[in-house]
Amino acid sequence: MDSFSSRAPLHDPGGDDETYADILVRLLRFRPDPYMRLTFASGRAPGSTHRHAYDEGMHVLVAEDDGSVAAALVSALQRAGHSCTRVARGSDVLLRHRDAQVVLLDLGLEDMDGLDALRRLRAVSEVPVIVVTARGDEHSTVKALSLGADDYLVKPVRLHELLARLVAVTRRYTPPEEPTHVRVGTVDIDIEARRVSTGERDVSLTPNEFGILVSLARRAGQIVTRRQVLDEVWGDAYATSSRSFDVHLGQLRQKLPEITITTVRGVGYRCEGAG
């Protein structure tokens, strides 16, 4: 929970003692009109022919430690046509973000400050993040935005404004295209078939070795951070042991001398064709 309690009295027409959760629950008793649903669920007005990757609804990761607030948010988002996963810990944000198209992040999480969770998330992912918090001070706002938050809302939030901002931040974000086939030098990588070959030779790799190769080869010539690889291959950029990663990377280098994987000390790795 935020350092500023979500149970604090709020100024709202519904009553001087209404909490953030109470307001959301009260709002959900009203059936939204069709125009608002079309506008906020699909991000376009009725009659518009423009389509977007998120037009059919998004999967939203709701990171909120207050159960009543989280339940109200999830219910509101589902009524607007979105699906949700709710977590209360920053560590779970780092585990579950890859399935989400946008993250709603409270700053008062159970295991860490939300700003720390945001910093760690931004080290491995560009998924849109909207901070939804009771912290209305300038320092927290500036810090969150400087760490990479796409938007910042102070509780209590207006439901339709939240939905509109959710659509807005996702429209500014274009998910990277994931190729199904990659070639680095003389090495061909069929990602869907999980097949690696060079010339007439097929190369047998373990699942983790293949994952490391794909993570690096998709961005051949660019530096990929260690945490990015850990996040993409193991699904956790902060829990996997360094020793395990180093062993798999060493085996990959031995099996594929046709590819040069250069360690850029203190930054990450760069994959290029050998020679």
- Distance, CA of 197 to CA of 116 (rounded, Å): 41
Say which range, 18-27, 219-228, 254-263, has the weakest mean pLDDT: 18-27
pLDDT digits 0-9 by tens, 113-153: 999 999 999 999 999 999 999 999 999 999 999 999 999 99
Q: Is the pLDDT of residue 173 over 90?
A: no
pLDDT digits (tens, 9 = 90+) for 55-83: 468 999 999 999 999 999 999 999 999 99
The pLDDT of residue 1 is above 70:
no
Note the pTM of the prediction, 2 decimals.
0.70
The H or E element spanning position 160 is helix 159-171
List C-alpha distances in Å: 42 to 65, 103, 171, 177, 226.
Answer: 28, 17, 11, 22, 36
Query: How many CA atoms lie within 13 Å of 258's alpha carbon, on the beta-carbon side?
Result: 18
Q: Other CB atoms closer than 10 Å to residue 237's CB: what's the count?
A: 23
Q: What is the largest CA-CA distance in the chain?
A: 75
Q: Domains in the chain, please, with CATH?
A: 20-171 (3.40.50.2300), 181-273 (1.10.10.10)
- CA 257/CA 186 separation, integer angstroms: 11
Which stretches does DSSP call E strand in 127-191? 129-133, 151-154, 181-184, 187-190
Neighbours of 150 (CB within 10 A): 21
Q: Which structure tokens are listed for 44?
A: 């376009």
Strand intervals (E) in the chain: 59-63, 83-87, 102-105, 129-133, 151-154, 181-184, 187-190, 195-198, 201-203, 223-225, 259-264, 268-273
| pLDDT tens readout for residues 192-227 | 999 999 988 999 999 999 999 999 999 999 999 999
Q: Which tokens belong to 196?
A: 């690696």
pLDDT in tens, 81-99: 999 999 999 999 999 999 9
Using the predicted structure, report yes or no on whether residue 233 has a pLDDT greater than 50: yes
194 φψ region: left (φ > 0), alpha (ψ -120 to 50), beta (else)? left
Beta strands in 115-267 (DSSP E): 129-133, 151-154, 181-184, 187-190, 195-198, 201-203, 223-225, 259-264
Coil, strand or helix: which one is 175? Answer: coil
Exposed, middle or buried by CB within 10 Å (0-12, 13-18, 19+), for 192?
A: exposed
Burial class (CB in 10 A: 0-12, 13-18, 19+), 268: middle
